[in-house]
Amino acid sequence: MKSIFKNLLIVAASYLVIGLFVWIYYYVTFFSKFDNVPLFNTLIIIFAWPLVKFMIPIR
């Protein structure tokens, strides 16, 4: 029971982080007129890759 709750918490936190990245991404692209898109894509990949690797054993 405790492990299920822990997994749910991890999934919820990861969805929160992904949502935050999506929001920041749209915010930056909207206000910079697509200037920082390649830089921000690499940042998202760098930060999201460990998260994805961490989420794979849960599923």
- DSSP labels for 1-59? -HHHHHHHHHHHHHHHHHHHHHHHHHHHHHHHTSSSHHHHHHHHHHHHHHHHHHHTTT-
Note the pLDDT of residue 12.
Answer: 83
Q: What is the pTM of this model?
A: 0.40
The answer to whether residues 55 and 7 touch, using CB atoms and an 8 Å cutoff, is no
pLDDT in tens, 46-57: 777 777 777 666
**Residue ranges per domain, the chain?**
2-55
pLDDT band at 33 (very low <50, low <70, confident <90, very high): low
The 10 Å CB-count burial string (b at 16+, else e) for 32-56 is eeeeeeeebeeeeeeeeeeeeeebe
